[in-house]
Amino acid sequence: MAYETILTEVQNSVLVITLNREDKLNALNKTVFDELTLAIDELYTNHTLKGAVITGKGTRAFAAGADISEFTGLDAEGARKLAKRGQDLFFRLERSPKPIVAAVNGFALGGGCELAMACHMRISGETAKFGQPEVNLGIIPGYGGTQRMTQLVGKGRAFELLMTGKMINGAEAYRIGLVNQLGHNDTLVDTAIEIIESIAAKAPLAIGYVVDSINAVYEDGVDGYQTEIDGFAACTLTTDFKEGASAFLEKRKANFQGK
Ligand code: COA
């Protein structure tokens, strides 16, 4: 599909989504949200896709945040809708049964950092720049940043990053657990695709239950241990479970079907 603010291509059955507003450091405007929503719908519905990589066009930015030009005249009601829209999309990423990896190739600030945090994993170069600088603008993160930053790096570091609005580089982000893996900027997407391919070799339904169970840790009113029991039990009903166990005993590689 042809988009205005993102590019999509399929590489090795992985959907590569590139934020494509290089002159605005890939800032996330309303159209980006609409188009990202469609791209993620495609990930959910196209059964040939193994997962998705999200990255930014150019060498400078993954995404330098929500598009600040759209903040003009924003009132409380509009802000609620904007935040809800962003959060709904980012939940959809986080809850995807197929892996989504952010390949952070530069600035990941504000909504850009929140987008990266909503992906299952983040890889970046050492010089990438992460931060939640919203307090410089007189606001706070609205796309789940207060929650996911705390989940990923802990309360003390989340307070530090969100209260100071400071930027940290990729090496520091890796050190504190915000980034899963460091790589070279020019091969980040390839590395992300390799990660997704390695996950796609596992039983897909089991991967989906892993996603549900880990997300359950953070969902109010959901008993994550019970979610795990349910997922564990559901796995035993799959053909892939029988295949996985048989393949192990027969000392061969499992051939999973996602059934
Ligand atoms: N929203 C809208 N436009 C943005 C943007 C954003 N979040 N971030 C960068 N841009 C635009 C700039 O306005 C500029 O556009 P112009 O060339 O038409 O003037 C262009 O991207 C390049 O940015 P510029 O500020 O000139 O680059 P820089 O190298 O001097 O600074 C940053 C880079 C990332 C430090 C700086 O752009 C910045 O602070 N951006 C805002 C980050 C932010 O607060 N994000 C959270 C938003 S809630």
Instruction: Assess whether 54 and 167 both reside in one domain.
Output: yes
Instruction: Assess whether 175 and 65 both reside in one domain.
Output: yes
Q: Quote the ligand 1 centre to 63 CA distance (angstroms).
A: 10
Active-site residue, 42 included: no
Predicted local distance difference test score (pLDDT) of residue 190: 98
In order along its 259 residues, the chain shows pLDDT tens digits of 789 999 999 999 999 999 999 999 999 999 999 999 999 999 999 999 999 999 999 999 999 999 999 999 999 999 999 999 999 999 999 999 999 999 999 999 999 999 999 999 999 999 999 999 999 999 999 999 999 999 999 999 999 999 999 999 999 999 999 999 999 999 999 999 999 999 999 999 999 999 999 999 999 999 999 999 999 999 999 999 999 999 999 999 999 999 9
- Ligand 1 contacts (CB < 6 A) are 24-25, 27, 64-69, 107, 109-111, 133-134, 136-137
Q: Which domain holds residue 139?
A: 6-200
Instruction: Assess whether 40 and 26 both reside in one domain.
Output: yes
Instruction: Assess whether 117 and 139 both reside in one domain.
Output: yes
Instruction: Assess whether 182 and 208 both reside in one domain.
Output: no
Between CA 120 and CA 117 the distance in angstroms is 7
Q: Would residue 110 count as lying in a domain? A: yes
Between CA 10 and CA 169 the distance in angstroms is 29
Predicted local distance difference test score (pLDDT) of residue 205: 97
Predicted local distance difference test score (pLDDT) of residue 2: 87
Between CA 61 and CA 110 the distance in angstroms is 12
Token reading at 71: 């903040």
- Is the full-model pTM beyond 0.85? yes
Active-site residue, 172 included: no
What residues does 97 pair with on adjacent strands?
A: none
Predicted local distance difference test score (pLDDT) of residue 1: 76
Between CA 195 and CA 11 the distance in angstroms is 13
Sequence letter at residue 211: V
Nearest CA owner, ligand 1 atom 44: 133
Q: Would residue 94 count as lying in a domain? A: yes
What residues does 18 pair with on adjacent strands?
A: 7, 55
